[in-house]
Amino acid sequence: MKKFLHGTYAIEVKNGRLNMGGDESKTGSTNNGTYVKKIRNGNKVYPYVSGQSLGYNMKQISKTFGANISNIILDKESKNQECIIEANPYKNYDEDLFGFMRAKSIEITEGEYEVLPDNVKKFFNKDGKKYKRNITKKRLRRLMKSPLQTISSTRITEEFCTRKTDSGESNILYSKEVYSNIMNGSFSLDIDNIGVFTTTHDNLGYIDYLEDEIEALNIKPDESGLIKLDKNERFNRIKYTLKSIQYLNTNVGQNTNQENINSKFIIIADYSLPSNLFINCFRDGEFNIEYFKESLESYEEYRLSDIYIGIYSGFMGDLKEKLQEEFKDNEMIHITTVKDAFDSYLEYTEGNLK
């Protein structure tokens, strides 16, 4: 039975600008300004942090907890001295969890082809007077995540600032956009396929390693032809992912608008279906308990673990107390602090990971 970790989390932004946008995000009255990413729906505005920005920050945070992050390397074989990714998910946490694509081909002369070992020649196809080989690799990401978005329409505030010039001219006026709201994001983690790699293309063209590549890297596949990390490293990669969500941070705008955007609310649990039942539980500016209860009921037969809910005291008023009262008789739902929710799930996972 497949296992997927589903979660949703919320952060609190007091006076932030977490993800900058370009001119298309402009709402201010001056051309000399910086603007935040936002989605418009009629007259309503929802600032957000893109999935790409979240991914970058998650990688940087996971690195502080011990994750090995991939490097960009110079492809010495290319004619134009191109830079490429390592494409080594066995070694690199981020290429395993976030996926990758490295499009590349090799072209050699007939003379170069003739001196190749027979077990390598089979990978090349003749093309005129040349021999070519496609060595494109792409890995399906094991971590799916939504952008962070405000849970209700948000008023964007334009802060006006001035910069003094040393040459005596008038001060330069500039502006920056900031906002205050609660933001929500969700994620799903394919537990069974973390640290599991293939050496043959599937029907969508995904492949993690080339057959001759694993020999050079001294990586040994199992009897089924799959390459698997040991249980301890697979658990670590789950832990790195959750820690990067628990202690989420961003460097954008922090010099003048410092924010603590660690998770203030989290729900995590394992299910056998890949679709995330916790998405959209924040509705119209609040956490909708009835919507949440209906989601739990519709997915109950597919639940594989207890449900861990962590909330900071006072977050969204008395939300913690309301949830504790609503589920006080449900032994499968644990409502604690955010730290305890993450730690309890990791303790459960470490003891049950196959």
**pLDDT reported for residue 22:** 64
pLDDT over 90 (residue 297): yes
Give the C-alpha distances (Å, rounded to integers) separating 72 from 69, 92, 102: 10, 12, 12
Confidence class of residue 214 from pLDDT cuts 50, 70 and 90?
confident
Q: What is the pLDDT of residues 29-38, one digit of tens each?
A: 556 678 889 9
Average pLDDT over residues 38-58: 92
Q: What's the average model confidence in pLDDT over 263-288?
A: 97
CA angle 221, 209, 226 (to 5 degrees): 30
Query: What Å distances lie between residue 88 and 75, 104, 137, 160, 219, CA to CA?
Result: 15, 15, 10, 47, 11
Pairing of strands 307-311, 333-336: parallel
Give the C-alpha separation, 63 to 93, whole Å.
9
What's the confidence (pLDDT) of residue 218? 86
List all residues 6 or more positions away from 7 whose beta carbon is below 8 Å from its beta carbon.
186, 187, 188, 189, 245, 266, 267, 268, 269, 276, 278
Q: Structural domain boundaries of the chain?
A: 4-19+38-67+143-154+179-194+226-352, 72-141
| Tens of pLDDT, residues 118-138 | 878 888 888 888 888 888 899
The amino acid that residue 265 corresponds to is F
Average pLDDT, the chain: 89
pLDDT of amino acid 28? 53
**Structure confidence at residue 72 as a pLDDT band (50, 70, 90):** confident
Whole-number pLDDT of residue 61: 95
